[in-house]
Amino acid sequence: MSEAEVITRIENGVGRITLNRPKAIHALNRAMCEAMIEALQAWKADDAVSSVLIDHAGERGFCAGGDIRMIAESGAGDASEAKAFFHTEYQLNHLMFEYPKPITAIVDGIVMGGGVGISEPADVRIATERTTYAMPETGIGLFPDVGGGWFLPRLAGQTGVWLALTGARLKAADTVALGIHTHYVASDAVEALKADLMANPSDPKSVADRVSGDAGDAPLNAHREAIDRLFGFDRVEEIFAALEADGSEWALKQLSILKTKSPQSLKVSLRQIRLGAGMKSFADNMAMEYALGGRVVSTHDFQEGVRAVIIDKDNAPNWQPADISGVSDASVEALFAPLPQDQSWTPLA
């Protein structure tokens, strides 16, 4: 493969985008987002392109997220580089969401954070037996951005809240059952799927329908009633209390997981999802997440979460406040305040 971190080309009527940063599990940086935007903008009015396919080189995974270390280093200063990255990344997410031609994403392997942001807007989202999906941001003091405020509350019941707060990892049977991914294709059939897509570039859904198989029984189904009952509150304190009062082994396990996450992030993420549920457009959601992201990256908990999980890898973050009771409503509200018009996020022209 070429040394470029994103490889773009047109093959048999398909605009192809291949993520090519395998050592970092294709973690996104600003240049990669810009390369994808440039290709997608060029293909919009190009009659030689009937649909778009996004995949990845190597076998380690589709995309493990964004360049978190860079974001943290920037957040420790004036956050300008982090904000510039978010601005571009969210423009890419929105461009894909509104794209006039069908997009297929082959999500083979790890897909987290920023990888979710460039696959969820696709019309056809293909999981394999190697797929592992998660939005693990509360574990590093962040929140499920890249459109999480739009996509998560639109999943069935309260599953989006559960996913956002716990950072739970799902395999294909669950992601397909929830509609996070639209089809299941075994990894050894992916190359045949791509060949079929090149032969039928204008209708990727019919190709995926023809090739897809059964992902199997969804383990999460056994807990869906409990998720809807225990995560349906607007305050994190109420979710904690409900889990404790339920007392089942599963509920107490969820509570113990939540108690390892950033209390600030739990409250921010729940508010983000509740606000996102009522938003009228994806662009409005991205503007909210941009204002929020630019502030959160400079907070103690994000800096500490990145230190604990990514830099020192001791997995022992010292959250401040250490308990949800210490996170005031006013401090959460301040993080969500709209930006002045000249600083706010806008979609691509």
Query: Which residues does the annotation mark as catalytic?
Result: 66, 114, 137, 145
Q: Which helix (H) or strand (E) holds 103?
A: strand 103-107
C-alpha to C-alpha distance for 193 and 185, rounded to whole angstroms = 8
Between CA 109 and CA 213 the distance in angstroms is 17
Interior/surface letters 72-93, b for 16+ CB within 10 angstroms, e for the rest: bbbbeeebebbbebbbbbbbbb
Q: Is 188 exposed, middle or buried (0-12, 13-18, 19+ CB in 10 A)?
A: exposed
* CA dihedral over 31, 33, 117, 80, signed as positive or negative: positive
Question: Which of 271, 20, 227, 232 has the alpha carbon at shortest distance from 138?
Answer: 271
DSSP 311: I
**Tokens in use for 349?**
């022209």
Sign of CA dihedral 10, 14, 19, 20: negative
Query: Phi/psi of residue 5, each to 5°?
Result: -75, -20
CA distance 134 to 145: 12
Whether 204 and 197 have beta carbons less than 8 Å apart is answered as: yes
According to DSSP, the β-strands at 51-56 and 103-107 are parallel
Burial grade of 241 (CB within 10 A; 0-12, 13-18, 19 or more) = middle
